[in-house]
Amino acid sequence: MEPLVSELPYARRPLIAIPARFSATTSALRHAAEVNARALVEAVWRAGGEPATIHPHAPGGTADPAEVAARLTRFDALLLPGGGDLAPHRYGASHAHEAVYDVDDEQDAFDLELARQALATRTPLLAVCRGLQVVNTALGGTLHQDMGGPDREHRHVRHPVALAPGSAIARATEAEKAEASCYHHQHVDRPGDGLHITARAADDTVEALELPTHDSLFLAVQWHPEDTAHEDPTQQRLFDALVAAGAARVG
């Protein structure tokens, strides 16, 4: 798979911001860490981008919009990755389901503000799994907190997804269907303002969203394209599209 950005020595690769995920333990480090999945980073690199993990800074669970906006201006595109569950109060729920896990107020506040600023500035955006849920929440949407237990959740599952003809994701992947690698137990309930559903699983789970008013690239998928991007050109094209959109901003 050929990247869409020049690989000449020392060429300026579009800088792709990826907010870190907090990790309590990481091999070979003596402290808690901030990480991103290697498969995700490598998919961006294959596309010709420079993946840049950024620190989630939102003390006390509150992010400074001006600070987040200023930090985002350094980057050409944004990738919102997967991770733990959003706190249900972030989308108006009065209580948390017992299956909700790995909630972190600082992570939530930072990701949500980063999504808002990316949307406000028309920054090219690819949102993956939790990232889709973050964007949906940032736009006033809601989530189903749990899909109904192990027999209904999409963990360690691959399944076909039909892509709406003419949609942003169909154009980006150059496909009418995709084989989705999933790891989630939550999914979209009510789509956020302006969001259109462009893919569903056979069980009616929302698998992709787009925002027609976003006049730059906007791709949001509930699955994990990084899982199979190294062997599936359809999945790699999502990262190619993000990097190409970032490159267009570099000039």
For the stretch 183-197, pLDDT in tens is 999 999 999 999 999
For the stretch 158-173, pLDDT in tens is 999 999 999 999 999 9
Q: Whole-number mean pLDDT of the chain?
A: 94
Residue 109 Cα to chain centre, angstroms:
15
Q: Which of 210, 122, 123 is nearest to 173 (CA)?
A: 210
Return the beta strands (E) in 119-171 as ranges.
125-128, 143-144, 154-163
pLDDT of residue 30: 83
Percent helix / strand / coil, the chain, rounded to 5:
30, 25, 45
For the stretch 29-45, pLDDT in tens is 888 888 999 999 999 99
Q: Which two tokens stand for residue 91?
A: 């989308």
Q: What is the mean pLDDT of residues 219-240?
A: 98
Catalytic residue among 113, 129, 185, 187: 129
Active site residue 31: no
Work out the end-to-end distance of the chain between its first and last CA atoms, rounded to an integer number of angstroms: 23
Q: Which of 76, 108, 124, 104 is nearest to 220 (CA)?
A: 124
Q: Which two tokens stand for residue 250?
A: 């570099």
Assess whether pLDDT exceeds 70 at residue 206: yes
Active site residue 182: no
Catalytic residue among 153, 174, 224, 231: 224
Active site residue 224: yes
Catalytic residue among 113, 153, 207, 226: 226
